[in-house]
Amino acid sequence: MPELPEVETSRRGIEPHLVGNVLHYAIVRNSKLRWPVSEKIKTLLDEPILSVKRRAKYLLVELNTGWIIIHLGMSGSVRILLEEQPEEKHDHIDLVFRDGKVLRYTDPRRFGAWLWCEDLATSSVLAHLGPEPLSDEFNAEYLYQQSKNKKTVIKPWLMDNKLVVGVGNIYANEALFSSGIMPDRKANSLTTEECTVLVTAIKRVLTRSIEQGGTTLKDFLQSDGKPGYFAQELFVYGRKDKPCLICGQPIESIKQGQRSTFFCRHCQHGDNEN
């Protein structure tokens, strides 16, 4: 599933080809995604592209008359084609540009979304999102204040988009490992010092992943249908029973909210092990 770094890499990959270009027309082959594709998108003609931004895991394409809001869902990807090419089974949407380039959206599971709004402030899908994790607004004091009365377990809490956006399962696991914090602690057990360490770890893990993705930007100009995502350098996620890269002890795994959680019992501490 595309996480925040992959979505940011997608944004950076398509931005140079879209901004300053003119959307000639859209082709919608299948409207049945997570929500029906907005009718307005189907009627867009000769619209200049002003910017390509990101909010959480949403790509935001700015036109003179409003915004296309794109979510990649579980399996979606976007890529740039130098010219129109025959579509394949899961190629649901094309944006065709005046210079002949095509932004193609592919989504085998059809759990993504293509929505339209005239003003982002009125968008229901963006209204209740927390701060961006790489912003100044997401800091240790904010996290500590949010945690004080929360009896929720830490890892699922970090994945709540109302708290902070874009800290998906992979990055929550990795940040907690980097912070030395067990994922099954309660949020209200965090100290101010631990919040400082955890915020720093989240920003570092996400920044590193975005930097890794930067090496794959050329892959967004391709024709083979493969998304331009990148291999992660992971310490615990997906490494059950493998030796910890720090101490050599086996990585353990539990289920939290139907999601797999990975940790090292030696390197990460519980409430009273500070």
pLDDT tens digits for 95-135?
Answer: 999 999 999 999 999 999 999 999 999 999 999 999 999 99
* 225 pLDDT tier (thresholds 50, 70, 90): very low
Convert the pLDDT of each residue in 233-264 to its tens digit: 789 999 999 999 999 999 999 999 889 999 99
For residue 30, the model assigns a pLDDT of 95
Strands, E assignment, 56-197: 58-63, 67-71, 77-81, 91-97, 102-106, 113-117
* 215 pLDDT tier (thresholds 50, 70, 90): low
What is the mean predicted confidence (pLDDT) over 6-28? 94
Beta bridge partners of 60: 53, 69
For residue 85, the model assigns a pLDDT of 86
What is the mean predicted confidence (pLDDT) over 62-75? 95
Would you state the structure tokens that stand for residue 62, as one six-digit string? 């700015």
- Is the overall model pTM greater than 0.85, yes or no? yes
Contact (CB, 8 A) for 131 and 115: no
Contact (CB, 8 A) for 95 and 26: yes
- Which of 170, 2, 165 lies closest to 72 in space, CA to CA? 2
Q: Annotated binding site for DNA: which residue ranges?
A: 90, 109, 150
Contact (CB, 8 A) for 133 and 203: yes
Contact (CB, 8 A) for 75 and 108: yes
Quote the mean pLDDT of the chain: 91
Q: Is the pLDDT of residue 13 over 60?
A: yes
Convert the pLDDT of each residue in 140-198 to its tens digit: 999 999 999 999 999 999 999 999 999 999 999 999 999 999 999 999 999 999 999 99
What percent of the chain shows pLDDT beyond 70?
92
2 is catalytic: yes
Set 5, 6, 54, 57: catalytic member: 57
Higher pLDDT pick, 168 / 218? 168
* 19 pLDDT tier (thresholds 50, 70, 90): very high
257: DSSP letter:
T
89 is catalytic: no
Contact (CB, 8 A) for 146 and 163: yes
Set 3, 6, 47, 194: catalytic member: 3
Q: Is the pLDDT of residue 222 over 80?
A: no
For residue 6, the model assigns a pLDDT of 87
For residue 226, the model assigns a pLDDT of 54
For residue 224, the model assigns a pLDDT of 47
Set 53, 110, 259, 265: catalytic member: 259
| CA gap 256, 109 in Å, rounded | 24
94 CB contacts (<8 Å, ≥6 apart)? 26, 27, 29, 84, 87, 102, 103, 104, 105
